[in-house]
Amino acid sequence: MKPSFDLIIRNARDMTGKPVSVGIRDGMIAAIEPTVEGADAEYDAQGQTLGSGLHDHHIHLLATAARMESADLTDCRTEDAVIARLRNHSGDTNAWVRAFGYDERVAGLPDRDQLDIWLPQQPVRIQDRTGGYWLLNSAGVARLGEQSLPSCVERDADGRPTGRIWRGDKWLRERIGGSPPSLAALGQTLAQWGVTGVTDAGASNEIAEAKLLTGTIRQRLIIMGTEALPNGEGYGLGAVKLLLDENDLPPVEQTVARVAAARALNRNVAAHCATLGELLFYLEALRQSGGARTGDRIEHGSVIPESLIGDIAAARLTVVTQPNFIHDRGDRYRAQIDKSELNDLYRLGSLLRGGVRVLGGSDAPYGDANPWIALRAALDRRTGDGAVIGAGETVNRSAALTLYQHAPLAVGAPADLILYDWPEETGSLGEVSLTLIGGDIVWQR
């Protein structure tokens, strides 16, 4: 009697080019063989590559969804271009104009008075390219109300809010209200790229954010956040996120206490380490906490000197990096950073060779959410203009794909699968034709 399967994917190939078919039962991989018999339903892969679905290990879902509804300033290189983009996006004078990707090289970090010149009537809030600042005009500041304002709201010498808000995302969202963005379009776009799982990396995530995120996308969901984030239905509980800022680092004892609180909850910790100072601070806090544990994470690892690789490996820390930033920001790095320091940026190959576990994430919306941009950059380390940063940090295709996977292609694993073509030509991006999550087809070209 032939085995019973809900679906068989036939005539696929594995990464080495060998024929492979997969039998799926009850949402799980039940058979992997060159050929699989049985089942009424089948899909002919026509020689495409079969692989595990991709997992974005560091993304900000609500901000990414909101960005899809906002004005994009990333390609605006002059003040006039920014003004034109904002005014083109304006409409109802009572509605916010929301923009992202502003580069401070255009006109510094504008205050409310400067933004009043750009867009005087309609409330506007602009997020800078780093995601750290929100910039509001006077109409926007007025929407904050007359209640007491927290320290994240910058004030001038006279106590007047300047319109600049630093690391105040959650507070700003709560103060101005409004409906959260729909995640449906983002989830569908991710499925088209073969993303079957995501880890939301919001440092302020608690129960309210979990309710907003759960059940809104088809992808499997892990949520990082504060110590107050509970276990819940529909998502996996991730690490306690420590948002470190080199310009305003807390007393190390405070971070040690947060690590201890995470340990008491049997949770790992993950720290934002976009500078060497932040990384060194985190490593010291872990040392004073009794050491890192397997599963503790370095988010970004933007700057890692070669001398620290052995320490990171010995501590069993995972680095969650963004190769896409080499492509997206590499030309800016080359213009602003000393050439001798470029090899320390977003290390990959040297970390793997040094025994460090490495995962990949987009950091969307601050990086491109398309995982194939990052996968390509992991192979060639090329900037948008074609220059190479850290040639010794390249990896092969197998290693690159492993960065963006959550589970191996194996019998007994969830049937989170993709069929794709990824041409061998330099600079090529992969193209996905079929995405399954739990055995269900969520995208089909």
Can you spell out the DSSP letters for 336-397? HS-GGGGGGBT--HHHHHTT-EEEE---TTSS---HHHHHHHHHH-B-TTS-BS-GGG---H
Q: Does pLDDT of 123 surpass 80?
A: yes
Backbone region of residue 427 per phi and psi (left: phi > 0; alpha: psi in -120 to 50; beta: other values): left
Summarised one tens digit per residue, pLDDT across range 63-102 is 999 888 889 998 899 999 999 999 998 877 788 999 988 9
Measured at the CA of 350, the angle between CA 344 and CA 356, to 5 degrees, comes to 110
Q: What angle do helix axes 252-264 and 276-288 make, rounded to 10 degrees?
A: 60
Q: What is the mean pLDDT of residues 200-226?
A: 96
Are 282 and 273 a contacting pair, CB within 8 Å? yes
CA–chain centroid gap for 344, Å, is: 20
Residue 347 has pLDDT above 90, yes or no: yes
Rounded average pLDDT over 398-423: 94
225: closest CA among 233, 213, 237, 214?
Answer: 237
- What is the rounded distance in angstroms from the CA atom of residue 267 to the CA atom of residue 237? 8
Mean pLDDT of the chain, nearest integer: 94
Give ∠ CA 119-121-126 in degrees, rounded to 5.
Answer: 45
Chain-centre distance for alpha carbon 358? 14
Q: Which residues contact 34 (CB under 8 A, 6 or more apart)?
A: 18, 19, 20, 21
Residue 3: pLDDT over 80: no
- Going through 54-105 in order, the beta strands assigned E by DSSP cover 54-59, 71-72, 97-102
Q: Is the pLDDT of residue 39 over 80?
A: no
Structure token digits, residue 134: 């929100």
Confidence of residue 173 (pLDDT cuts 50, 70, 90): confident
Which of 351, 350, 349, 370 is CA-nearest to residue 361?
Answer: 370
What distance in Å separates the CA atoms of residue 324 and residue 129, rounded to the nearest whole number? 15
pLDDT tens-digit series, residues 226-242: 999 999 999 999 999 99
Position 48 confidence tier, pLDDT thresholds 50, 70, 90: very high
Instruction: Give yes or no for residue 428 having a pLDDT over 80.
Output: yes
Backbone dihedral region of 290: left (phi > 0), alpha (psi from -120 to 50 degrees) or beta? left
How many other CB atoms are found less than 10 A from the CB of residue 406? Answer: 21
Output DSSP code: residue 80: H
Residue 2: what pLDDT?
63
Q: Is 287 helix (H, G, I), strand (E, B) or coil?
A: helix
Please give the pLDDT value at position 38. 82
Helix, strand, coil % (nearest 5) of the chain?
30, 25, 45
Q: List CB contacts of 294: < 8 A, sequence separation 6 or more.
A: 316
pLDDT of 278-333, one tens digit each? 999 999 999 999 999 999 999 999 999 999 999 999 999 999 999 999 999 999 99
